[in-house]
Amino acid sequence: MRIIAIGDVVGSNGTEYALKLIRKIRNAEKGDLVIVNAENASPGNGLDTKSAEALLGSGADVITGGNHTLRRHEVFDFLDENSNTVRPLNLPPSAPGKGFTIIRACEGLRVMVMNVLGQVFMDPADNPFTAADRLLAEQEGNYDLCICDIHAEATSEKAAFARYFDGRIQVIFGTHTHVQTADERILPKGSGFITDLGMCGPVESILGTKPEPVIKNFVTRVHDRFEAGEGEIKLCGAVFEIDTAKKCVKSVKRIKY
């Protein structure tokens, strides 16, 4: 089985580019399952229903989220009703939506996709380690393979999470920093991991936004409204090949379009 994971889709430009490429990438990489982080796919930030529906309609199987997923109230009902769009598992239980989904993939395999938030340099959330542990125990017997998007700032937290769940969660990838890391690897117990997938957003930008207001904020501490970057778009992600019989990852490959 080949899993394609696409990094944070940023704004209208990033969403439009992802819509054009998802099916092409799926065909080129012979993907069986496509997972897209879209917590910032809306104009501005957050996730809106229109963007989510478009991404799912373009070939994405599951949309994962992050600290901005619940920024727009309009998406709350969609999260409650659509099992293929998940928000972080370790948000309060009363939050809209769910933190995981189980879908059927090739050969009828049941694949559980979960999403967790990191705690370091992030807004308050439940411990992602214990939240994921609880979910694995609660769903034991209901899934064959597991995938996790850990949406976190700190490299150390993502690496520790991957090592802790090595062999129990087959595919672990980080999102949130919008910068693709060059550390894709197979861990000792067979899980595939990359610290951050990168983003689908403008090349000439700072994390997807125009550089000028970001620089001004650092230099003067005057915060102007951030605007979406423009120009050439890049889409970053990774492809994980899984040996479904042994339930371990055979290869991890970074991709950039």
Name the nearest CA neighbour of 199 among 2, 3, 1, 13. Answer: 13
In which band, very low, low, confident or very high, does the pLDDT at 213 lie, cut at 50, 70 and 90? Answer: confident
- Tell me what the mean pLDDT of segment 201-210 comes to: 90
In degrees and rounded to multiples of 5, residue 144 shows phi and psi of -105, -35
Kindly write down the DSSP assignment for every residue of 80-92, as one continuous string.
HH-TTB---TTS-
Q: Which two tokens stand for residue 29?
A: 């990489």
pLDDT of residue 227: 83
Total domains, the chain: 1
pLDDT of residue 241: 98
Tell me the per-residue pLDDT of 33-61, one tens digit each, with 9 for 90 and over: 999 999 999 987 899 999 999 999 999 99
pLDDT of residue 229: 84
Q: By percentage, how much of the chain surpasses pLDDT 70?
A: 100
State the residue range of the domain holding 167. Answer: 2-256
Amino acid at 10: V
Category of 168 on φ-ψ map: left (φ > 0), alpha (ψ -120 to 50) or beta: alpha
The vertex-90 CA angle with 86 and 96, nearest 5°, equals 50
Parallel, antiparallel, or unpaired for β 33-37 and 8-9?
Answer: unpaired
Tell me the per-residue pLDDT of 60-104, one tens digit each, with 9 for 90 and over: 999 999 999 999 999 999 999 999 999 999 999 999 999 999 999
pLDDT of residue 226: 83
Beta bridge partners of 206: 209
Known catalytic residues are 68
- Tell me what the mean pLDDT of segment 118-140 comes to: 97
- Tell me what the mean pLDDT of segment 144-162 comes to: 98
Q: Which two tokens stand for residue 46?
A: 């957050």
pTM of the model: 0.95
pLDDT-wise least confident of 123-132, 185-194, 210-219: 210-219
CATH number at residue 170: 3.60.21.10
The CA-based dihedral angle spanning residues 52, 56, 62, 63, taken in that order and rounded to the nearest 10 degrees: -20
The CA-based dihedral angle spanning residues 173, 178, 182, 183, taken in that order and rounded to the nearest 10 degrees: -30
